[in-house]
Amino acid sequence: MAYQYLLDTNILSDLVRHPQGRILQQINRVDENSVCTSIVAACELQFGAEKSDSARVSQQIQRILQILPVLPLESPIEKHYAVIRKSLEQAGTPIGPNDLLIAAHALTLDITLVTANVREFERVPGINLENWLSYH
């Protein structure tokens, strides 16, 4: 089965805080084999673990990153990155550098980005988004 969902950092952070919560329920609903994350999100999680100084948080992050496939950045991500960045800069609505890489990663893989940061990512042309933390 091909991956269908790329989990953003804020979705993974919720999973760290609530291991049996809403995100796990959604993963089980869509099939755990259809879910992955980006190395960029994994880097952000590791940074969060370093900052937290919490053994529990660090252990939970390690468990998640051992189970969840973490995909590397591969060509042609650079093409998607360049198109997105140019488009957003021309519109005067740039997004953060890590979010830009995560968006380009989702577009390169042609999968849905799962994020609670819809307002940031909805500016990216052609991206498919879902918010698994939304109650709508």
Q: Domain boundaries in the chain?
A: 5-130
Return the residue matching tokens 């990512």. Answer: 121
Hey, what CATH topology would domain 5-130 get? Rossmann fold (3.40.50)
Distance CA 61, CA 16 (A): 6
**Encoding tokens for residue 85?**
């960045």
**Encoding tokens for residue 11?**
């979705």
Q: What is the pLDDT of residue 114?
A: 98
CA nearest neighbour of 41 among 64, 18, 20, 21: 64
**This prediction's pTM:** 0.95
pLDDT one-digit tens code per residue, 23-76: 999 999 999 999 999 999 999 999 999 998 889 899 999 999 999 999 999 999
